[in-house]
Structure 1
């Protein structure tokens, strides 16, 4: 009986080592998919959109500030019908008809170049902030993708271990019913089976969470990504 128990435990250890030795996440990483996820995050992630809109808005401010140079000049006109007497006969500049005038606001003339320069600086700052956020976003997508691949690989291992332990437990159950092994050996196989099923359920939960986090940042379901 002790020999059989040792053989059974050795089989379990072999299955565990074999399952883990065959798994590595490196071959599972698809960089083409990762690039797609990064581009989708830049397009769909709300904060990425807000940074883009802010940059576009500040850029429009440059054009607005440049066009505001026209505010420096104030044009006016005065019209007096020709059949009326002039306002001041002594003043030769008071004549009938239409009179035009142009005024220059010196304050605006002096401040406009600085306003345009400030608008350009604000745009450069907005672009730098957008670039900084994009770098953080790219890194976040990578972290979530690698975690997703890791949890997917662990789920495969846990599923295989649960299946192997189920087979061993079933085999030992038949042997126990035939009186070939002790109750302790059979109970140990049941404990191993329960533990492997528990680990599988936990792996499923972690996998689903990592999948949700990745889908959250790219803005769509992984099944919808082409």
Structure 2
């Protein structure tokens, strides 16, 4: 009878663990809220400093295009000379009197301007591509951390359920042991298994807190603040 009861306890514990594991896996998939996930991604893109840095780089690159375009004027130099009408200059006689405007062109600088403008526009493209690349990377990162968070939740539910069922089994075995229907070794093994499940639960709690912290690092706000 003792052997049968011990075998029953072992089968019971393994059956509970396997059953809870299957339910936890199904629950994790069912817990995925893609609409909420999109809110998390939007929040990360809004708050994460690296995204703001990419946006600033794009603004700077666009400013460089404007500066390069206006820089066409740098190749031209304007000056004026004033010669009074009643003055007489015997060394360098002037044909024209009054104000005289002159414009000079720096050919080398003038020819370099198209390349400067093109380079500035390419800098804008590079900044835009870098931002788009980081947006994709950040999106994938938020998804991975969100799924890790759900996985940690499912694991904690699994461990919590195992403890509840284990406590029920231990109480039954304790009652059977007190009545002399089972051995102390069988009862002690069940109790040891329950303690192990308690340790697993603590590890699951730590994993959940870690997953939550990692996700909130990207979001810039607490998960509870995102509805």
TM-score (norm 2): 0.91
Distance in 2, Cα, partners of 1:98 & 1:54 = 47
Measured against aligned partners, the alpha-carbon deviations of 1:141-176 in whole angstroms (never above 9, x if no partner) come to 111111111111111111111111122112222322
Q: How does 1:24-63 map to 2 (within 5 A)?
A: 24=26, 25-63=28-66
1:105-125 CA distances to partner (integer Å, 9 max, x unpaired)? 212211111100000111111
Query: Which residue number corresponds to residue 199 of structure 1?
Result: 200
1:134 pairs with 2:135: yes
Is the 1:73–1:102 contact (alpha carbons within 8 Å) kept by the matching residues of 2?
A: yes
Give the structure 1 partner of residue 174 of structure 2.
173
- The correspondence of residues 1-226 of structure 1 with structure 2, limited to 5 A, is 1-23=2-24, 24=26, 25-80=28-83, 85-88=87-90, 91-93=93-95, 95=97, 97-226=98-227
User: Conserved in 2, the CA contact under 8 Å of 1:88 and 1:94?
Assistant: no
Q: Shift of residue 59 of structure 1?
A: 1.0
Which ranges of 4 or more aligned residues in structure 1 deviate by more than 3 Å? 79-83, 86-90
Q: Aligned pair in 2 of structure 1 residues 28, 88: CA closer, same or farther (>3 Å)?
A: farther
Any idea what the Cα deviations from partners look like across 1:66-113, whole Å, max 9, x if unmatched? 011111221112335566x33447623363x33322221212211111
Structure 1: tracts of 5 or more residues without a match? none
Q: Aligned to 2:103, what secondary structure does the other structure show? A: strand
For 1:145 and 1:54, the matched residues in 2 are separated by 29
User: Offset of 1:133 from its aligned partner?
Assistant: 1.7
Judging changes above 3 Å, is the alpha-carbon distance between structure 1 residues 90 and 211 closer, same or farther for their aligned structure 2 residues? closer
1:3 positional shift: 2.3
Give, in whole Å, the separation in 1 of the partners of 2:148 and 2:137.
Answer: 16
**Contiguous gaps of at least 5 residues in structure 2:** none
- Give distance in 1, aligned partners of 2:110 and 2:68: 12
TM-score by length of 1: 0.91
Aligned residue pairs: how many?
224
Comparing 69-78 with 213-222, greater Cα deviation is found at 69-78
Q: What's the offset of the Cα at 1:199? A: 0.7
**Is the CA contact 1:158–1:203 (under 8 Å) kept in the aligned structure 2?**
yes
RMSD: 1.8
Q: Please report how far the alpha carbon of residue 130 of structure 1 lies from its aligned counterpart in structure 2 after TM superposition.
A: 1.5
**Equivalent-residue separation in structure 1 for 2:151 and 2:92 (angstroms):** 96
Quote the Cα distance in structure 2 between the aligned partners of 1:92 and 1:46: 65
1:61 positional shift = 0.6
Deviates more, 1:2-11 or 1:26-35: 2-11
